[in-house]
């Protein structure tokens, strides 16, 4: 049984590392008619390169850093990060051309470019927000209700807001979150809410309607407090405009709290707890392939308790989160650090 367990661990870790290093674009379909098919085909491919590369780097950068990179993007720069270009179902009939293409990028090269050019970046995919909405009107108050106009809009347009998660809006929800939580700016049943939905990022929207206006304050729940991230005013509410703006601000808020300062380098000495040397080897592979770890050096090696020095970019909390997403647990307390497989 132990041998099987080691094989499973090795298979999972190896495949996880490989998957992290590559980004696959959407499949693009090309159709056109031209007397110069080669030139026109290259023009379309370059358009798709720009579109797919921008889609790739947007979640990795804050607004400021994205604009900085966007201003210097060229085809030559994009080609440096291209791992493969696959052309399928290609057909040429006289001057008619059609095909489907997919681009694959090397994530590690992109991160190295950010580091070498002092561009701060996000080392892992953005997390989603559970959105709790209190719609307070003159003669009605709706929180976790299907009759809440905000939720009605989100249900009809859920594909537009990939970083929002709506609650079930069942009877139990109404006992977890109450009007008093919004008024006191504190979620009394926070642990129960997280336990039910498994999302630690909570976005709270409080809409207050008066006779001729609607004021909407939006908060992120952090350290047992409502932290304001947006205030909006409407004489007549535009749900699309409101949610587009809030979606962008919530995502950028999350990015700014998970960004790696590429100019900050820190040393950390950790004990790595393993069952055997095979497991140690795989843990080292994960660490070496982690985007924010610059170098790992051995200080002492033993059967199940070795010591290594990590040199990494950014702060410790980001490193801990990054390794956790790779199924490694890093604990640090009073200058003592340990790492093990989850």
* Full-model pTM: 0.84
Helical (H) or strand (E) element with 207:
strand 202-209
Query: In the block, which residue shows the tokens 């908060």?
Result: 219
pLDDT the model gives residue 283 = 92
pLDDT the model gives residue 276 = 84
Cβ atoms < 10 Å from Cβ of 40: 16
What are 101's two structure tokens? Answer: 């293409």
| Percentage of residues in the chain having pLDDT higher than 90 | 80
Spatial distance between the Cα atoms of 340 and 327, rounded to a whole number of angstroms? 9
Higher-pLDDT residue of 8, 219: 219
Spatial distance between the Cα atoms of 11 and 271, rounded to a whole number of angstroms? 24
Average confidence score pLDDT of the chain:
91
What three-state secondary structure class fits 250? helix
pLDDT the model gives residue 20 = 58
**pLDDT, mean of residues 68-93:** 95
Cβ atoms < 10 Å from Cβ of 101: 22
* Alpha helices for the chain (secondary structure H): 2-21, 37-57, 63-70, 75-81, 107-116, 149-156, 173-176, 179-184, 190-197, 239-256, 277-289, 316-325
pLDDT the model gives residue 301 = 86
240-244 long-range contacts, Cβ below 8 Å, gap at least 24?
240/153, 240/157, 242/216, 243/153, 243/154, 243/157, 243/160, 243/161, 243/164, 244/160
pLDDT in tens, 248-307: 999 999 999 999 999 999 999 999 988 888 888 899 999 998 989 999 999 998 878 899
Residue 191: exposed, middle, or buried by beta-carbon count in 10 A (0-12, 13-18, 19+)?
exposed
Where is average pLDDT lowest: 71-85, 187-201, 276-290, 318-332? 276-290
User: Which pLDDT band holds residue 211 (cuts at 50, 70, 90)?
Assistant: confident
Angle at 158 between CA 152 and CA 163, to 5 degrees: 120
pLDDT the model gives residue 86 = 95
Spatial distance between the Cα atoms of 293 and 319, rounded to a whole number of angstroms? 8
What three-state secondary structure class fits 81? helix
In the predicted structure, residue 18 carries a pLDDT above the cut 80: no
What are 140's two structure tokens? Answer: 């009605």
pLDDT in tens, 28-78: 999 999 999 999 999 999 999 999 999 999 999 999 999 999 999 999 999
Query: Could you tell me if 167 and 193 are in contact, meaning their C-beta atoms sit under 8 angstroms apart?
Result: no
**pLDDT, mean of residues 129-152:** 92
What three-state secondary structure class fits 221? strand
**pLDDT, mean of residues 165-176:** 90
Crossing angle of the two packed helices 2-21 and 277-289, in degrees rounded to 10: 10
Spatial distance between the Cα atoms of 141 and 293, rounded to a whole number of angstroms? 49
pLDDT the model gives residue 16 = 45
Residue 295 vs residues 15, 22, 112, 283, 291: alpha-carbon distances, Å: 22, 21, 13, 14, 11
pLDDT in tens, 309-321: 999 999 999 999 9
Cβ atoms < 10 Å from Cβ of 11: 11
**pLDDT, mean of residues 191-212:** 94
Cβ atoms < 10 Å from Cβ of 256: 13
Q: Which residues pair with 310 in a beta bridge?
A: 268, 296
What are 169's two structure tokens? Answer: 């809006």
In the predicted structure, residue 13 carries a pLDDT above the cut 70: no
pLDDT in tens, 106-120: 999 999 999 999 999
**pLDDT, mean of residues 189-212:** 94
């Amino acid at each position: 049984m132990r041998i099987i367990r080691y094989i499973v661990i090795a298979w999972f870790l190896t495949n996880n590392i490989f998957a992290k290093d590559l980004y696959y674009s959407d499949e693009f379909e090309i159709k056109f008619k031209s007397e110069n098919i080669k030139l026109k085909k290259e023009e379309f491919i370059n358009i798709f390169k720009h579109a797919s590369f921008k889609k790739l780097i947007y979640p990795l950068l804050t607004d400021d850093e994205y604009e900085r990179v966007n201003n210097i993007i060229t085809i030559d720069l994009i080609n440096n990060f291209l791992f493969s270009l696959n052309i399928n179902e290609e057909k040429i009939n006289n001057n008619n051309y059609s095909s489907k293409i997919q681009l694959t990028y090397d994530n590690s090269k992109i991160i190295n470019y950010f580091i070498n050019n002092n561009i701060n970046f996000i080392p892992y995919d953005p997390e989603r927000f559970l959105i709790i909405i209190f719609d307070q009107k003159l003669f009605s108050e709706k929180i976790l209700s299907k009759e809440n106009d905000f939720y009605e809009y989100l249900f009809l347009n859920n594909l537009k807001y990939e970083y929002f998660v709506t609650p079930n809006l069942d009877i139990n929800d109404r006992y977890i979150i109450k009007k008093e939580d919004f008024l006191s700016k504190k979620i009394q049943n926070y642990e129960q809410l997280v336990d039910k939905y498994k999302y630690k990022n909570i976005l709270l929207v409080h809409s207050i309607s008066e006779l001729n206006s609607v004021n909407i304050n939006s908060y992120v729940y952090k350290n047992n407090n409502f932290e304001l991230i947006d205030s909006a005013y409407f004489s007549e509410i535009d749900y699309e405009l409101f949610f587009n703006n809030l979606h962008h601000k919530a995502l950028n808020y999350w990015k700014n709290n998970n960004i790696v300062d590429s100019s900050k380098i820190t040393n950390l000495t950790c004990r790595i707890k393993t069952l055997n040397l095979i497991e140690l080897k795989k843990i080292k592979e994960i660490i070496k392939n982690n985007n924010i770890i610059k170098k790992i050096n051995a200080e002492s090696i033993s059967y199940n308790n070795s010591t290594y020095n990590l040199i990494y970019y950014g702060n410790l909390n980001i490193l801990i989160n990054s390794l956790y997403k790779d199924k490694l647990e890093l604990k640090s307390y009073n200058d003592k650090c340990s790492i093990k497989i989850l």
